[in-house]
């Protein structure tokens, strides 16, 4: 075998003729080897490699695999590499704040099974943006792991406290975009229903945020009756407006006035009956299952219902107006997968 290996190395150096002689010696079939060219061998190798990778034919499944691979890659890279990626996603900075376009699938805080998160690389990012003696950046607010878009970081603790107070006192105007199933009725309005976290009793018990209204319908006469407020519930207010509608879906502009956990997702799914596309958690209450999509939506996405679980959450923090001295208007474009879905569903909106 050592001699054969040496012969093979020599033949590679001699070119195509040497390759044919090597293949003849290793295969044991002179007739078959004589007809085999180097190009054919390379093509066979490429084909066999492609079969091992098993690239999905389904576009949605392929898209989510790419997003999942990106999310996993962000967990594997060195913190310096992650900080460099966030530096490339910087959309605005001044002497007080730094604003990034948060990538999909990257958690803000650490936890079980999380190696990399935004909070952990803030000291490295600060040095990359300024110098080696820069003070670590500070988180001012948070976005869910699957949510993309505008995220504000402060250069010092004093600014961070100032920005957090602006968020707490509802002086920051936040605008989100979401692709949802269905058409909200009315097309523009305000959802003002408290939200509380509850345990869902099913074959697989889990916790979800849900509505805790201060009223109910009387079964006898159908009148609205005020009830006692749930002490654990938090006040939640979301303003919404439909920007476009097509393919049994809508593009909504959302302004959360309050900042309750999963507020937008809960108000859309349970308040308006229009869950966000790819929100498999809040498309059902009593079970954990992939989102059920309308036939027209499946057709436009070129997707089978059995593959619906591969759809990512289509929620993007699009714009943020920060009254820090002079009002700062910050805008982030939706990620590529969000834009592709808009195009497939023919959800066209006027350009700003």
Among all residues, which ones are annotated catalytic?
144
* Structure tokens, 335: 């990620």
In a 13 Å sphere around the CA of 250, the CA atoms on its Cβ side amount to 20
Buried b (16+ CB within 10 A) or exposed e, 88-111: ebeebeeebbbbbbbbbbbbbeee
Residues 6 or more apart in contact with residue 258 via CB below 8 angstroms = 170, 234, 235, 236, 237, 238
Q: Indicate the SS3 state at residue 45.
A: helix
Question: Among the residues of the chain, which ranges form H helices?
Answer: 2-14, 16-27, 30-34, 38-53, 59-76, 79-88, 122-129, 157-168, 263-266, 295-301, 336-344
Residues 6 or more apart in contact with residue 177 via CB below 8 angstroms = 243, 251, 252, 253, 254, 315, 316, 318, 334, 338
Contact criterion met (CB below 8 Å) for 65 and 56: yes
Residue with token string 């097509």: 246
Return d(Cα 206, Cα 225) in angstroms, integer: 30
Q: Indicate the SS3 state at residue 144.
A: coil
Contact criterion met (CB below 8 Å) for 33 and 24: yes
Q: Give, as one character, the DSSP assignment of residue 340.
A: H
């Amino acid at each position: 075998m050592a001699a054969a290996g040496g012969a093979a190395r020599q033949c590679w150096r001699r070119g195509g003729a040497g390759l044919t002689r090597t293949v003849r010696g290793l295969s044991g079939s002179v007739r078959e080897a004589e007809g085999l060219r180097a190009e054919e061998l390379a093509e066979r190798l490429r084909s066999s490699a492609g079969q091992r990778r098993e690239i999905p034919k389904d576009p949605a499944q392929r898209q989510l695999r790419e997003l999942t691979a990106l999310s996993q890659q962000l967990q594997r890279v060195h913190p310096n590499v992650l900080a460099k990626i966030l530096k490339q996603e910087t959309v605005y900075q001044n002497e007080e704040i730094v604003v990034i376009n948060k990538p999909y699938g990257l958690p803000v805080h650490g936890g079980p099974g999380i190696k990399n998160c935004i909070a952990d690389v803030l000291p490295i990012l600060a040095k990359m943006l300024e110098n080696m003696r820069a003070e670590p950046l500070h988180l001012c607010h948070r976005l869910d792991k699957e949510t993309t878009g505008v995220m504000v970081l402060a250069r010092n603790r004093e600014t961070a406290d100032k920005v957090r107070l602006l968020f707490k006192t509802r002086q920051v105007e936040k605008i989100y975009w979401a692709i949802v199933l269905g058409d909200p009725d009315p097309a523009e309005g305000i959802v003002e229903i408290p939200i509380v976290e509850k345990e869902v009793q099913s074959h697989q018990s889990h916790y979800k945020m849900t509505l805790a209204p201060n009223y109910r319908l009387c079964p006898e006469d159908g009148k609205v009756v005020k009830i006692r407020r749930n002490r654990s519930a938090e006040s939640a207010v979301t303003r919404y407006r439909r920007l476009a509608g097509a393919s049994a879906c809508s593009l909504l502009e959302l302004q959360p006035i309050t900042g309750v956990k999963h507020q937008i997702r809960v108000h859309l799914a349970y308040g308006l009956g229009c869950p966000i596309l790819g929100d498999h958690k809040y498309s059902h209450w009593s079970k954990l299952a992939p989102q059920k999509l309308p036939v027209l939506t499946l057709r436009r996405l070129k997707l089978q219902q059995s593959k619906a679980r591969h759809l990512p959450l289509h929620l993007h923090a699009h714009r943020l107006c920060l009254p820090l001295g002079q009002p700062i208007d910050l805008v982030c474009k939706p990620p590529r997968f969000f834009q592709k879905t808009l195009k497939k569903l023919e959800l066209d909106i006027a350009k700003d």
